[in-house]
């Protein structure tokens, strides 16, 4: 389902004209569709169709409180990777007992905080981390529920920066070492083994690698059973890709159907940690053309949004669709590089895009609900863009545009140079 559609010649977010949102909130700006978020979350829920499951939205994809709150209201769990994300989940009304804590560098303070909040599970990424969690839990007179993240050495076939399931990657524990680590954990009094997990990468566009990873985990689960270690859940990570324009990822329902087939004769609860497939296509990034420019080689549309707002094109050479907010009746297309004002040649939102535009026109960069605002920065002293959520005919500001003084509020002059 697409919640960003033309009505006549004008692009709408659900029932709201995007031009009117630009007028009210200014540009650049992120616009999210509540209905799209809910639709994507429910697609997972419906596909599980009663099989015991927990859908833990990967907070890193988009951690705005309103987004987390919408999902929490649907009963979502959350996959976090920092103490900060845990605080956000709690502030947004999420249930800590549905939180799994991923990430390979959990600090002592983060572990303490998560233990206090009584999260569902720590996804352990190394032997050293297991020991640290065991010790901290003992000093807090508690027991940490744990899962071990196995690195199944599977090629997810995605961009190398977002591929995580190969031996060369820093994540998880090789399958060959996992059994020994579980045996060690079984003897510890500060941890309680409850699961096993893997996450092999992001933006996967085929089901095969997911199933291969599950096979690897199931093999381990069976070996653990014979050792007297039985698990209550398997966490298959996130990673389902979305269609940015040219990709043809499986539907959420297809993925879950294939996953469930692996569990027909097993009681295990399936945890999944989707981020992008819930949030990406629930958002657009709205930007206005400041100037058109031609340098005898190329046409450039210089916009007011930039790589600090949306770094995916610069960082991963990612392609995201760019639409004009008002369709031109003549539609005389020219090729443009859509670029921001930042002093780097990597500052582009799209290259060689066929557009019929003039200065002042609004452009919507599609699929900007995940890993967009969440990865934004203040590079070039650019205040971060506001975020707006649309619900049917209504729209709400869910994060204010930053002001310049916000940017240097926590900076200090040297005392000896103050006067």
Q: Which chain residues interact with ligand LLP by CB under 6 A? A: 58, 61, 79, 102, 162, 199, 202-203, 237-240, 273-277, 312, 316, 371, 375
Measured distance CA(263)–CA(214) in Å, rounded? 10
Measured distance CA(144)–CA(190) in Å, rounded? 6
Measured distance CA(63)–CA(80) in Å, rounded? 10
- Choose between 245 and 360: whose C-beta lies nearer to ligand LLP: 245
- Choose between 275 and 283: whose C-beta lies nearer to ligand LLP: 275
Torsion-angle region of 26 (φ positive above 0: left; ψ -120 to 50: alpha; else: beta): left
- Choose between 12 and 171: whose C-beta lies nearer to ligand LLP: 171
State the minimum distance, in angstroms, from the CB of residue 272 to ligand LLP: 9
State the minimum distance, in angstroms, from the CB of residue 23 to ligand LLP: 30
- Choose between 107 and 294: whose C-beta lies nearer to ligand LLP: 107
Beta carbons of 370 and 275 less than 8 angstroms apart:
yes
Measured distance CA(113)–CA(131) in Å, rounded? 17
For the CA atoms of 161, 372, 172, 91, the dihedral, rounded to the nearest 10 degrees, stands at 170
| Cα-based angle 269, 271, 274 (whole degrees, multiple of 5) | 155
- Choose between 146 and 302: whose C-beta lies nearer to ligand LLP: 146
For the CA atoms of 349, 352, 358, 361, the dihedral, rounded to the nearest 10 degrees, stands at -30
Give the single-character DSSP code of 192.
E
State the minimum distance, in angstroms, from the CB of residue 244 to ligand LLP: 10
State the minimum distance, in angstroms, from the CB of residue 62 to ligand LLP: 10
Q: Kindly report whether the peptide bond that precedes residue 28 is cis, defined as omega within 30 degrees of 0.
A: yes
Length of the chain: 419
State the minimum distance, in angstroms, from the CB of residue 58 to ligand LLP: 3
Measured distance CA(176)–CA(215) in Å, rounded? 14
Residues involved in catalysis: 343
């Amino acid at each position: 389902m697409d919640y960003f559609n033309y009505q006549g010649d004008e692009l709408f977010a659900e029932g709201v004209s995007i031009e009117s949102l630009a007028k009210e909130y200014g540009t650049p700006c992120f616009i999210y569709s509540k209905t799209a978020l809910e639709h994507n979350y429910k697609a997972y829920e419906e596909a599980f169709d009663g099989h015991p499951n927990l859908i833990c939205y990967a907070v890193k994809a988009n951690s705005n409180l309103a987004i987390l709150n919408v999902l929490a209201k649907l009963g979502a769990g959350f996959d976090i990777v920092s103490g900060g994300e845990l605080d956000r989940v709690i502030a947004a009304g999420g249930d800590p007992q549905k939180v799994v804590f991923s990430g390979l560098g959990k600090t002592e303070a983060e572990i303490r905080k998560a233990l206090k909040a009584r999260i569902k599970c720590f996804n352990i990424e190394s032997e050293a981390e297991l020991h640290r969690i065991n010790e901290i839990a003992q000093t807090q007179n508690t027991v940490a529920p744990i899962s071990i993240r196995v690195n199944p050495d599977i090629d997810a076939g995605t961009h190398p920066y977002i591929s995580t399931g190969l031996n060369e990657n820093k994540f998880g524990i090789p399958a060959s070492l996992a059994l020994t680590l579980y045996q060690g954990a079984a003897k510890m009094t500060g941890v309680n083994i409850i699961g096993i997990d893997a996450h092999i990468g992001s933006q996967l566009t085929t089901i095969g690698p997911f199933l291969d990873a599950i096979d690897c985990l199931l093999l381990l689960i069976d070996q653990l059973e014979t050792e007297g270690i039985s698990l209550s859940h398997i966490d298959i990570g996130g990673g389902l890709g979305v269609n940015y324009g040219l990709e043809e990822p499986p539907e959420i329902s297809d993925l879950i159907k294939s996953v469930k087939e692996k569990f027909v004769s097993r009681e295990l609860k399936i945890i999944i940690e989707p981020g992008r497939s819930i949030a990406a296509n629930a958002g657009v990034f709205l930007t206005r053309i400041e100037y058109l420019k031609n340098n005898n080689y190329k046409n450039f549309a210089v916009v007011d949004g930039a790589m600090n707002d949306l770094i995916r094109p610069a960082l991963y050479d990612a392609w995201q669709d760019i639409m004009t907010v008002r369709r031109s009746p003549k539609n005389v297309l020219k090729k443009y590089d859509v670029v921001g004002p930042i002093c780097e040649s990597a500052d582009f939102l799209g290259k060689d895009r066929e557009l019929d535009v003039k200065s002042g026109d609004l452009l919507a960069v599609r699929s900007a609900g995940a890993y967009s605002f969440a990865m934004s920065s203040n590079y070039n002293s650019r205040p971060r863009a506001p975020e707006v959520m649309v619900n049917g005919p209504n729209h709400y500001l869910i994060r204010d545009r930053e002001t310049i003084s916000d940017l240097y509020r926590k900076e200090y002059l040297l005392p000896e140079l103050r006067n």
